[in-house]
Structures are given as C-alpha cells and as structure tokens.
Amino acid sequence: MIPPSKTSANGRYAQITGWGMSVPEKVLTNADLARVVDTTDEWIVSRTGIKERRVVAGERESTATLAIRAAREALLVAQVLPAQIDLIIVATATPEYAFPATASLVQDALGASAAGAFDLSAGCSGFIYALSVAASAVRSGSADHVLVVGSETLSRITDWTDRNTCVLFGDGAGAVVVSACNERCGVLATELGSDGSGGDLLIVPGGGSHRPACHESVSDGSHFIKMNGREVFRFATTVVPRATEAVARKAGWKADELDIIIPHQANVRIIESAAKRLSVPVDKFFVNLERYGNTSAASIPIALTEAIRAGRVKPGDRMVMVGFGAGLTWAAAALEWGVPIPTRPLPWWRRLFSPVLWLFAGLRSVSIRTERRVYNQIMGPVGKDDWRGHLRRHTDTLRRRVRAWLKR
Ligand code: UT7
C-alpha cells in the first residue's frame, strides 16, 4: 500500500527540475586563518573537517549577487523562463537589507515579472523550510514553478578575532527550481521543528529591533555571530538522526533504504555521529564541507548541486536532505528523485541564449525605474488638485486598466 504521505490529493507532485550554485572566487585556507587568530590547520581539520572556505571580496559581491548567479544556473538547467516562475523564496540569515527582501532583488534581476518574492529566516535550516513551502505551493496548485535559493555572506557577520566561530563559516549560494509534475516523485514529505528556548545559543544579538545599531552595539561587536559551539553540537547530533528517521518514515521508508543523504555541512563529526546513530554507512552522506565550510542556508543546495554533478544522484533515488541551526531549528525533506540528470553540458545555443535573457531582464529593470522617475516628474505629487493632479489620476487609471488587460 502507498503510505498516505506518498499520495497527492489532486495528483500533483513537486519535483526539483533545476539546480545551481555560486561561490566567491576568493579562497580562505586554514593556514590563512592561523595567521589571524590563535588556531592551527590540525585543530580545524580534526575538530570540523574544514580545510578552506570561500569569502566575498569587495562590495560587488553580496548575498543577492551570489543568489542571482545560482538562480540563473538553476533556471537554465530546469529550462524554465523567468516569466514562468510563480514564487521566489530566498532563505538567508544574511539578507542584503532588513528590507526590501533579497528575493525581490533576485526577482528584479531575473526579470521574473509574474513572481511573488519573500525571504525566509530559519538559520541553517532555512533552505529546507523554503523547499517545504515551495513544495506545498506546487502541490496545492497555487504555483507551477517556484525558485528556492539559499544564499549567505556569513563573512560579513563573522568576528575575525573570534577563533570559536571564524574558522567555521563561509559564503555561497545554491538554488533549485521546484516544478509541478503528475508522477509520484519529488518532495514526498517534510519535517520541520523549532526549539526557541535555545535561541541564545547561536545568535547575532545586534542590529535587530531588540538592539538597534548604535555606537555601543558596533563597538562591543554585537553585530557578529555568537555561538555556544558545544551546545549546538549536542543539539545537532540529536536532531539530525531523529529528523532523518522521522521524514523517511513519513515517506514510507526506513533509514537504511535511503540512497543518499544531503546533510547541512557544518561539521564532519556531526555527520559521522548521525551515520552511526542511524546505522547508515557514512558514505551515503554527501560531504563537501572541507572546501566551503558552513555556508548556513546555502550549504544544502550547494551540496545537492555538487552531488548531482558528481553523479551521486540517479532517477528513482530515495534522498533525504536534513539541516539544523539557529532558532534553534531543524528540518528534513524526503525526495524520490524524479528527473533525468544531464550527462552532457547544455548545447552552446542554450548557453548563448541565457546572457541575452539576463540582458533583457537588466533592460527591463532600468526601463521600469526610469519610467517611474520620469512619470513622477511630469505628473507631480499624488493628490494635488491642479491640472497635473487630474492628469495623474486619469493616467493612473488608464495604466491600471492596460496592466490588467495585459495580464489576462
Ligand atoms: O550551522 C550550525 C552552526 N554551528 C555548528 O554547527 C557548530 C557546532 N559545534 C561544533 O562544530 C563544535 O562544537 C566546534 C567545532 C565549534 C568546537 O569543537 P569542540 O570539539 O566542541 O571544541 P570546544 O568548543 O569544546 O573547545 C575545545 C578547545 C577549547 O579550549 P579549552 O577551553 O579546552 O582550553 C577552545 O577554546 O578548543 C579551543 N578552540 C580552539 N582551538 C584552536 C576553540 N576554537 C579553536 C580554534 N583553534 N579555532
């Protein structure tokens, strides 16, 4: 019998059809860090498994630029046009701004004219939370294609004098396109959890409404990551196996029936401990943290992309993705892989087509901004009772009607 969680009431399922990643060029090795803080390559490798990480260099790289690059690649793989995307979710703990949402910046850069967009904050579990929302939107029929991005520039909130944290984190982004399908595959079950009583164990205390940015908050380093590593480690070693088992059960599988597990890439010791508790061979866990460190919400989609590229994912595979992090939060998703994995690079004409698409998206954005500025200058302020005010009201109504007509 098919377990209830494996059926969909309306015959719609949500599968990953595109994937992509983007990491900054700049590599920071353990040896580089040993020149800045009191640490050694030996300590970092033996306690975490991390050998190097990528960090953004200069103002031209940010959470949004990494997200946009990863998203473009995912759309290319999925062969989905920006105008076909219904929703964009960016999971991040390091958004571009408090507002607007990084997702809206991604939407504008892609020219995704029909997409809603919002950011999601659930620490390192954020990507799975976003995937769960995306899968629900697709299965319910409210969306056909959802772009889910995990993007972080943790180097911007890292205290480079704190050896307890600065050796762990890195920057990067990963993205997937979640699309509707009629066959039973894709995201079959999710498991989300939170224990807010552990909020202070992994926190950036400054810069929010509780402690807004001020001279004191900057000078005492409140805008940097503070972490109780031992407590988070203990939490992680408990929730990773528990959430993996729970989500597998919801999908109708046992842990030892899984083909691949994509865990949050925080510490290889956490992954080894989870493998032991689940009685699953550790090589079923995909690990790439030695090259990127902990990239928070980006770590799972980056690992997924690399696992696919390395030939570790095949159609029909039973996969679990599992994360944990600030909140405290945890999240897992069980997927039956549904789409073929391309064995050859995309044809040249498709590669050539996409820069043209992004050029149009850029032109679209510039023209909308320019039109808004020019229109406001000609029409003057809203609500005035002179001839410009009347003209504005009439023109606004006309524009609304034209937009509604174009949307039909
Ligand atoms: O996405 C979620 C984010 N967070 C995590 O996943 C973190 C989970 N926690 C961990 O991965 C581990 O707890 C750490 C890697 C952070 C630390 O490993 P540990 O084995 O738990 O070390 P510890 O905190 O118990 O510290 C052991 C010693 C301490 O010295 P004393 O007090 O024993 O003298 C630390 O001061 O290691 C010292 N230490 C370091 N030494 C060299 C801490 N950081 C460093 C360092 N280099 N970078």
pLDDT in tens, 118-149: 999 999 999 999 999 999 999 999 999 999 99
Catalytic residue among 166, 185, 267, 294: 294
CA of 290 to the centre of ligand 1 (A): 16
What single string gives the DSSP state of each residue in 351-395?
Answer: HHHHHHHHHHHHHHHHHHHHHHHHHHHHH-STT--SHHHHHHHHH
Mean pLDDT value across the chain: 94
pLDDT digit string, tens, across residues 312-344: 999 999 999 999 999 999 999 999 999 888 877
The whole-angstrom separation of Cα 250 and Cα 352 is 43
Q: How confident is the model at residue 14 (pLDDT cuts 50, 70, 90)?
A: very high
The whole-angstrom separation of Cα 127 and Cα 297 is 5
* Annotation says 294 is catalytic: yes
pLDDT number for residue 162 = 97
* Annotation says 124 is catalytic: yes
What does each C-alpha distance from 389 to 59, 131, 218, 375, 396 come to in angstroms? Answer: 41, 46, 46, 12, 10
pLDDT digit string, tens, across residues 67-102: 999 999 999 999 999 999 999 999 999 999 999 999
Best of 38, 233, 271, 287 for a ligand 1 pocket test (most atoms within 8 Å of beta carbon): 233
pLDDT digit string, tens, across residues 245-259: 999 999 999 999 999
Contact assessment for residue 28 and residue 54, using Cβ atoms and an 8 Å cutoff: yes
The whole-angstrom separation of Cα 62 and Cα 27 is 16
Please give the average per-residue pLDDT across 346-370, as a whole number.
88
Q: How confident is the model at residue 1 (pLDDT cuts 50, 70, 90)?
A: very low
Please give the average per-residue pLDDT across 381-399, as a whole number.
82
pLDDT digit string, tens, across residues 158-201: 999 999 999 999 999 999 999 999 999 999 999 999 999 999 99
Quickly count: other Cβ atoms within 10 Å of residue 275's Cβ. 21
CA of 195 to the centre of ligand 1 (A): 22
Q: What is the pTM of this model?
A: 0.93
* Annotation says 264 is catalytic: yes
The finding on whether 164 has its CB within 6 A of some atom of ligand 1 is yes
pLDDT number for residue 390 = 83
Which CATH code of 3.40.50.300, 3.40.50.10440, 2.60.120.10, 3.40.47.10 fits the domain covering 4-336? 3.40.47.10
Atom from ligand 1 closest to the CA of residue 270: 11
Structure tokens at 76: 């290319």
> Is pLDDT at 2 greater than 50 in this prediction?
no
The finding on whether 225 has its CB within 6 A of some atom of ligand 1 is no
Q: How confident is the model at residue 7 (pLDDT cuts 50, 70, 90)?
A: low
pLDDT digit string, tens, across residues 202-241: 999 999 999 999 999 999 999 999 999 999 999 999 999 9
CA of 162 to the centre of ligand 1 (A): 11
Find the radius of gyration of the CA atoms of the chain.
23
pLDDT number for residue 380 = 73
Best of 164, 167, 237, 264 for a ligand 1 pocket test (most atoms within 8 Å of beta carbon): 164
Catalytic residue among 30, 124, 145, 267: 124
